[in-house]
Structure 1
Amino acid sequence: MIITTASDKGGVGKSTLSFHLAAAIAELDQAKVLLIDGDANRSVLSWSERVDPSQLPFTVVGEKHASKWFQKGNQADHIIVDTQARPSDEDLKDLMEDTDLLLVPTTAQALSLDTLPQFMQRLSALGGNVPYTFCLTIVDTRTKDEQDAREFLKAHEQPVLDGFMRAFSAYTKASAQGVLVRDARTDSGRKDNNAGIAWNDCIAIAKEILEGMS
């Protein structure tokens, strides 16, 4: 299965979602997962380079080195492609032709939702039979943002995962420490209080996708 994450807006946690989705799918499906970093920011590659290889349950390669990786005889059960933000129509069309699922992360804040109708129109104009779904990220559960976002997407007849990623600083700590969010620690060395909850969010998203695509 090939999953491509793409967004029309930066700063929505796309790379964080891709990174943890790869880890969660590898764990749930006991599978070989390849994560291809196609983002010019190289966020996924940079994160992976800080992780102890023995603690990373998937493989990360840059977009330019993906072909060479396969030429060496390597194989993957699942491939996740983290794309650059704001892909052009041409890039978006290519992505939709080469994937089994287009995963579109979006924050639940109204400011982000305001730009979604234009992206929806682009997806509709490109046509094709590739399924896509939205995934809510950086959700502040103390507000009604998640509920409002779901109602907005439902009103526009757009698919959205039940699973979502909460707005936890544990993700930032995990990136800086070179670990998955489940192992994020505070400055004092104690495990972050929200690390487990954040990881469970990632597992829920991965499980929903696997079940939906099976």
Structure 2
Amino acid sequence: MKTVVLASQKGGAGKTTLAAHLAVAIEQAGDGPAVLIDTDPQGSLSAWWNSRAAETPTLAPSTIAELPTRLKALDAAGFAYAVIDTPPAITDSIRAVLATADLVLIPARPSPHDLRAVGSTVDLAHDAARPFVFAVTQAKANAKLTTQAVAALSQHGAVAGSIVHDRVDYASSMIDGRTVIETDPKGRSAAEMGELWAFVKARMHASTKSRKR
């Protein structure tokens, strides 16, 4: 089982939305089964899942202390991917979760404040010796700042080519436990999520291979 950890020291970057959408994208791509793990005390991902009608992806409650044991059990149960949401600005907690990651996905909005805050999350990933990639989120269409954000982030590591744009459908789909992949499967937002998962999957398997050499 491969583990993707969503981490950002800055709140509001879209970790929970990305976690939910990635898990559904995994299932839609036929790469599942996927399991979601919510380590954020706010429980936003769990609340989303509890309002969801579909049975997949699965949600597996876990405390941070229980996480390594829980992941072993989920692996034994046959899950292909675990997607883990993390709390913002709780360094020790995030560090413990990052230690379990095959890949850390760091969402960042194209704003000066968010870009300045990225460094602390990158440092945590380096400390945990975990590979990481960036995803630009909540971007405005055709905005110069988005291009600048990609350039700035690429100085630290790989950036997903699929930019997650600031569209109402992301928020509205989450209200009743769905994602844009389900509410508008042929829409631009659904395409973004499919492309993001393809990128994350490729990077995760490339990182696994390089560590085995």
TM-score, length basis structure 1: 0.82
Deviations 1:107-133 (A, max 9, x none): 112221122234434444x152x2111
> Contact 2:181–2:193 at 8 Å: present in 1 too?
no
Which amino acid is 1:7 matched to?
Answer: S
Q: Which residue of structure 2 lines up, in the alignment, with residue 188 of structure 1?
A: none
Instruction: Indicate the structure with greater strand content.
Output: 1
> Contact 1:183–1:195 at 8 Å: present in 2 too?
no
> Contact 1:108–1:149 at 8 Å: present in 2 too?
yes
Deviations 1:151-185 (A, max 9, x none): 1123x33221112211111111112233222344x
- Tell me how many residue pairs correspond in the alignment: 199
For residue 197 of structure 1, the aligned residue among 174, 185, 188 is 188
Which amino acid is 2:62 matched to?
Answer: E
Deviations 1:62-114 (A, max 9, x none): 2248739948x7431111111111231x3333223211001111111222112
Structure 1 Cα separation of the partners of residues 158 and 202 of structure 2: 15
Q: Counterpart of 2:142 in 1: which secondary structure?
A: coil
Q: Which residue of structure 1 lines up, in the alignment, with residue 171 of structure 2?
A: 172
What RMSD, in angstroms, separates the aligned Cα atoms of the two structures?
2.5
Q: Which residue of structure 1 lines up, in the alignment, with residue 80 of structure 2?
A: 77
Distance 1:75 1:170, change over 3 A: same
Q: Which residue of structure 2 lines up, in the alignment, with residue 208 of structure 1?
A: 199
Q: Counterpart of 2:94 in 1: which secondary structure?
A: helix
Structure 1 Cα separation of the partners of residues 50 and 150 of structure 2: 36
Structure 2 Cα separation of the partners of residues 77 and 118 of structure 1: 30
> Where does structure 1 lack aligned partners over 5 or more consecutive residues?
185-190
> Contact 2:31–2:80 at 8 Å: present in 1 too?
no
Distance 1:29 1:183, change over 3 A: closer
Q: Which residue of structure 2 lines up, in the alignment, with residue 100 of structure 1?
A: 102
Distance 1:183 1:98, change over 3 A: closer
Structure 2 Cα separation of the partners of residues 159 and 167 of structure 1: 21
* 1:62-141 matches, cutoff 5 A: 62-64=61-63, 67=70, 70=73, 74-88=77-91, 90-124=92-126, 126=127, 128=129, 130-141=130-141
